[in-house]
A and B are shown apart, each in its own frame.
Chain A
Amino acid sequence: MPIFPWGSGRQEVLSPVLQTISTPMPPQHHLNPEPVGSLTIPTDPSEARRFQDKIEQALKQTDCPPHDLFSIKLALEEALVNAIKHGNQFDRTKNVQIEYRILADRFECRITDEGTGFDPNDLPDPTSIENLERPCGRGVMLMRYYMTEVVYSPKGNSVAMFKIFQNGKG
């Protein structure tokens, strides 16, 4: 199953980059540990942390520059917190599904929770002065800034995102 099965959202047209990454690519056997994975974790922040540490170690073995590593770590953190906190509402009977691929030039992942979903276009602008103290929206904003592209499923309980490494600039 491709990481981006829904195109790029409700109104937008699938971008050329997304079309490229939706196409299966040959595995990168030189990467260690395994560059492609699919796992289901319980709604538990420490399980999410373990996964994030594993991805960090894997990315350090690629050409991913330090600033991109920072970006990916931050986006993963926000996406997993959203899945655990807002999606599954800390309900440990629910799971979070994670799929990821680490390629020579990019990182891709999809995180799906068992929540009711939300409309990412409906979030208040976290940078406007009246919303500064509201807790919502800042995480999604950071994910969109730091990743090359972020796409939500129509229901909104699944987020796919990727980052193309900016070699020489990161």
Chain B
Amino acid sequence: MAISRESSQPRRRRLEVEEIGDVTVINFVDRKILDEQNIQIIGEQLFSLVDQQERRKLLLNFRNVEYLSSAALGKLITLNKKLQQVGGTLILCNIDPQIYEVFEITKLDKFFNIQKEEQAALQAF
């Protein structure tokens, strides 16, 4: 079930969502997660997966992402907190080495559960 179809607003689709078993796998449509407005929309769509659709196992696949800013990291931190509050799990995978460095600098590599590949990530839930 794609988020775009659930939204009545004429917003460009930011996330591809699919179910693999009981895990919700999310791919980003954008190569760059930068603009304030985009980050806001991505955040809302991710939060609605937890708050409205009650998904509890989220896997964020970063394979399309070449770029992200600190504002995007803030949304991921909030998402992780939301999931922890309801006993859910967030795992990130396929992070480009340059972006992984951003996680390392900000010490978020220790904060998030990060797996190399999607298959390994699916096993880690």
Where the two chains meet, the residues of A that have a C-beta atom closer than 8 Å to any C-beta of B are 45, 49, 67, 70, 73-74, 77-78, 81, 85, 126-127, 132-133, 135, 138-139, 141-142, 145
Contacts and interface: CB of A to CB of B under 8 A. Distances in A.
Given A77-B69, A141-B106, 8 more contacts: A49-B35, A77-B34, A78-B69, A132-B108, A133-B77, A135-B70, A139-B69, A139-B70
How many B residues touch the partner, as a band?
20 to 34
Contact of A81 (B71, B73, B107, B108): B71
Contacts of A145: 105
- B interface, over-half SS: helix
Contacts of B108: 132
Contacts of B36: 45, 81, 85
Could you say which of B34, B78, B108 has the most chain A C-beta atoms within 10 Å of its C-beta?
B34
Interface in B20-38: 34-37
Nearest to A142: B70
Interface string B59-76: 000000001011101100
Given A45-B37, A81-B71, A142 B77 contact: no
A22 B105 CA distance: 29
A46 B100 CA distance: 27
Contacts of A133: 77-78, 81
A135 B74 contact: yes
Contacts of B78: 133
A138 B111 contact: no
Interface in B53-109: 67, 69-71, 73-74, 77-78, 81, 98, 102, 105-108
B98 A142 contact: no
Given A45-B35, A73-B67, A78-B70, A132 B105 contact: no
Given A73-B67, A78-B69, A81-B69, A138 B35 contact: no
Contacts of B34: 49, 77
A85 B78 CA distance: 19
Nearest to B67: A73
Q: Which of B37, B70, B108, B111 has the most CB of A within 10 A?
A: B70
